[in-house]
Chain A
Amino acid sequence: DTAVSQTPKYLVTQMGNDKSIKCEQNLGHDTMYWYKQDSKKFLKIMFSYNNKELIINETVPNRFSPKSPDKAHLNLHINSLELGDSAVYFCASRITLGPAGELFFGEGSRLTVL
């Protein structure tokens, strides 16, 4: 049973489209994150949720909208996709907000915008 699962794993779409990536964790964790990994492997935090509440919203265009229907799920919706949105998006979870707890990552969702 996968601890942190993301769907889809691969997504190819045209510029201007709207798409969603879903994330679910079955670990009973309170805190979830979205990270973006660019082509040079650099990993950057996008959002953090704790018990369904938004904690951190880094400098991310408002075309990106996270939603947490319950603490086991954190979905990412992207409007009006641009070429620069092409990346691998990782969902992660942690037992609680802090400190220094281990992050558990999903396998990533590779988004390609044409």
Chain B
Amino acid sequence: GDSVTQMEGPVTLSEEAFLTINCTYTATGYPSLFWYVQYPGEGLQLLLKATKADDKGSNKGFEATYRKETTSFHLEKGSVQVSDSAVYFCALESGGSYIPTFGRGTSLIVHP
């Protein structure tokens, strides 16, 4: 079945550091890929998505590129801020399933 593997957190960085959160997936066919973010005490919200190979999703300085050859969708940001502290979830949706499958979430803590 479909699955998403994320690096285990927490990831702890200083402000303005470079961020990478790894995500790899297993799926049949060509899934759509997502990153969602959960700020403390809130529900998840969509950060970015990519629906086909080599697509790059981007939003709020975050980027992720759909790599079919390595089945990966790593999240990156060039300079993190304290306000980026949150839990980040990688997710996929296989064609025809209509049910997003989420990874276990990676906690990011950014210190001033």
Contact = CB atoms under 8 A, between A and B. Distances in A.
B49 interface: yes
Nearest to B102: A43
A107 B98 contact: no
Interface stretch (A11-19, A66-74, A77-85, A97-105): A97-105
Interface string B74-112: 000000000000010100010111111110110100000
Question: In which size bucket is the chain B interface?
Answer: 20 to 34
Given A41-B87, A42-B104, A100-B93, A56 B41 contact: no
Nearest to B105: A41
Interface residues of A, number: 26
Interface of A: 4, 31, 33, 35, 40-45, 48, 55-56, 90, 92, 97-100, 102-108
Closest 7 CB pairs of A and B: A105-B43, A98-B98, A100-B32, A41-B105, A43-B102, A42-B104, A105-B44
22 contacts: A4-B43, A33-B99, A35-B102, A41-B87, A41-B104, A41-B107, A42-B102, A43-B44, A43-B104, A45-B99, A45-B100, A45-B101, A92-B44, A98-B96, A98-B97, A98-B98, A99-B32, A99-B96, A102-B49, A103-B100, A105-B44, A105-B45
